[in-house]
Chain A
Amino acid sequence: MSSTDNKESVLPARRRARAGEGIGVLLLRRLRDGIITLLLVVAVIFVLAHVVGDPALVFSPVDASDEEVERIARAFGLDRPFWERFGSYFADIFTGDFGESWWQNRPALAAVAEALPNTIYLTLAGIAGAALTGIVGGVFAGSRPGSLFDRGSNFFSISALSVPNFWLGLLFIVIFSVQLGWFPTSGMFGVSSIVLPALTIAVVHGGRVFQLVRSATVEEMSKPYVRVARSKGFPHRMVLWRHVLRNTGLTTATIAGWEYVRLWGGAVFAIEWVFAWPGIGTLTINAAERQDFFVLQAAVIIAGVFVIVSNLVVDLLYRVIDNRIKSS
């Protein structure tokens, strides 16, 4: 998406800082936006559960009897008026009461809290791989546009973006686990089990990082100072490492951070499911199969909070580094 929709700048519009704005103001604005988003999502979930569906059925196990459903309806006070239910629902969510999971017989929040660190671990490992391959490849390709390496790696990265991420995981299982027997097919036991899921993330997201870093490098290479340095007789490699990389470094760092947030938008959850990685994705899909509404809801909201916070951190880091560069 990002590779085609803004030609003028590699970074999405919202990442470009507004002029003359302090970090405090930015932080507050982002925080407000985040809270509004979260409220919207919670409201949509409420409306779906209470207005579109029958809440008593939504809240109860799939195989519950009629009496049980009625008992649940009473226990949740579903006979109360709509606005009262709406209010108490919000109060519950914001005091951290996400309901009991009937599947796991414990608070839904506990199940999510257990899965969250595993997902964070996997996403960090994956994004490290993606950043490494994407940045190194992107700089080399972008520094010599039109070269064999550029054309080859460009095609490879478009292919990486076209492949379904979960299918790539399955392909790696067939090759590296079934045929070669190098890594376990699934689960989380020791370091070897993170290799394949992290590799899958690295390939898919590395493709996008590559594209963005490449176009940033191409743009930078076409600037007059590069031509000046070249005409003075500096070797290509020196211009690249000493001049160009220093100027694209900030953009590159932001691309990696932005990609991390993006990873939480989807890919990681299906990949977790493929490798039976005990994170948020696997939990959510198991809960969806069992129609365990409270775990589903808790997973979406907690993941949402995490994404909003990491968005904030990326923005903040960008501003801090940017300011340091400007003042030095």
Chain B
Amino acid sequence: MPYRVVASERRVGSPPIRRRLQGLLEKRGWWLFALFLSLMAAWAIFPGVFAPYDANYLNPRNRLISPGGASPEGSHIAGTDGLGVDLFSQMVEGARLTLMIAVVATLLGAAIGVTVGMLAGYFGGVVDRMLMRLGEAQTAMPMFLVAILLLSLLGPSVTILIIVLPTLVWPIFARVVRAETLQIKQATYIEAAVATGCPTSVVLYRHVLPNVVPRILVLFVVEIGHVMLAEAGLSFLGVGVQPPDITWGLLIAEGRPLLTVAWWLTILPGVLLSVTVLSLNILSRRFEQYAGAAA
């Protein structure tokens, strides 16, 4: 909107501080989210440094202290649960498994999706139609219910979860990579590589793959968030991670029976999860702009 630009430039003579801060926040605001994600990664790697208490230490005398309250043992920023365990320590402890499951499952899904997408896009024909129909077919199923059925048949565990979750995300990777591969296939350098006698596997690995990487990275960051939400949902419903393991989704589930008396047990882990997924979404947009500018 050219008119608006002119209107805002007229004020440049004396920019109010509030406006400058606002502009700074909008252009550089993603740093805050990147910082937050690094903090979560630090929680996951060194929980001992950040957790004020042992996440398995319970003391019924300290039960249901509201956030900011204190027990004889010290303060509890996020309060305590029904058994007197410090909630903040549990959230720190939960970061590890929450992030680990999401990253590993998304990596697996990406690996499957990228392979399928590249093969389908490069070879086309019957391979393409069969592989892509499988992905299409899957998006037309209530996959969340299927996941519940699978998990309850196989018995819920972290391992099974890491096997089931990639099935939710691979079609998206396959679709994007296929579309990219179709374009790259037209390029002269691919033709040159084939003409000089490059085996197909080398063409795919050395020439096609590096060119789809930027798009995969953008997608990867978003999908970690989606997988995180799916894991939280399944754990919340009791078919995902089982206690004594801790993830944020499980913490929400455990707090739920006490919702009316201790809201913080469900709300705070959810805030943490939401902000993490939001950070991933915002960073991926940032990457997208960057990748778009580079291309």
Contacts and interface: CB of A to CB of B under 8 A. Distances in A.
Given A5-B176, A162-B278, A266 B230 contact: yes
A144 B274 contact: no
A170 interface: yes
A146 B4 contact: yes
A1 B19 CA distance: 33
Contact of B144 (A37, A162, A178, A269): A269
Contacts of A13: 175, 179
A45 interface: yes
B259 A266 contact: no
A151 interface: yes
B146 A41 contact: yes
B233 A52 contact: no
Interface string B215-233: 0001100110110011011
Contact of B267 (A36, A171, A293): A171
A7 to B, nearest CB: 9
A159 B278 CA distance: 6
A303 B142 contact: yes
Nearest to B226: A1
Contact of B236 (A163, A178, A270, A291): A270
Contacts of A161: 281
A320 interface: no
A45 to B, nearest CB: 7
A107 interface: no
Interface string B84-119: 000000000000000000000000000000000000
B137 interface: yes
A105 to B, nearest CB: 20
Interface stretch (A79-87, A124-132, A240-248, A282-290): A282-290
Interface stretch (B44-52, B54-62, B150-158): B150-158
A147 interface: yes
Contacts of B154: 48, 52-53
Interface residues of A, number: 63
B214 interface: no
Contact of A159 (B226, B232, B249, B274): B274
A300 B140 contact: no
B148 to A, nearest CB: 5
Given A166-B233, A285-B237, A4 B219 contact: yes
A182 interface: no
Interface string B158-170: 0000000000000
Interface stretch (A18-26, A68-76, A195-203, A304-312): A304-312
A184 interface: no
B233 A174 contact: no
Contacts of A147: 4
B145 A164 contact: no
Nearest to B146: A300
A296 B141 contact: no
Interface in A123-165: 144-147, 151, 158-159, 161-165
Interface string A28-67: 0000011011001100010011001100001000000000
Contacts of B133: 33, 36
Contacts of B213: none
Nearest to A161: B281
- Give the residue among B141, B232, B259 with the most A Cβ atoms within 10 A: B141
Interface in B121-156: 133, 136-146, 148-154
A162 B281 CA distance: 7
Interface in B263-285: 263, 266-267, 270, 273-275, 277-278, 280-282, 284-285
B278 A266 contact: no
B201 interface: no
B288 interface: yes
A37 B146 CA distance: 12
Contacts of B238: 285, 288-289
Nearest to B274: A163
Given A41-B141, A264-B142, A307-B140, A170 B266 contact: yes
Contacts of B225: 162
Nearest to B4: A146
A14 B141 CA distance: 15
Contacts of B288: 4
Interface string A257-291: 00001001111011001000000110011001101
Contacts of B274: 159, 162-164, 167
B172 interface: yes
Nearest to B288: A4
Contacts of B233: 164-166, 266, 270
16 contacts: A6-B179, A37-B138, A58-B153, A147-B4, A162-B225, A162-B275, A163-B270, A164-B252, A166-B252, A170-B266, A170-B270, A285-B237, A288-B148, A296-B152, A300-B146, A307-B142
Interface pairs A-B: 4 shortest CB-CB: A266-B144, A167-B270, A162-B278, A37-B137
Interface of B: 1, 4, 26, 133, 136-146, 148-154, 172, 175-176, 179, 218-219, 222-223, 225-226, 229-230, 232-233, 236-239, 249, 252, 256, 259-260, 263, 266-267, 270, 273-275, 277-278, 280-282, 284-285, 288
Given A33-B140, A171-B270, 15 more contacts: A1-B222, A5-B172, A33-B133, A40-B137, A52-B153, A159-B278, A162-B274, A166-B232, A166-B236, A171-B267, A174-B266, A265-B142, A266-B143, A269-B144, A296-B152
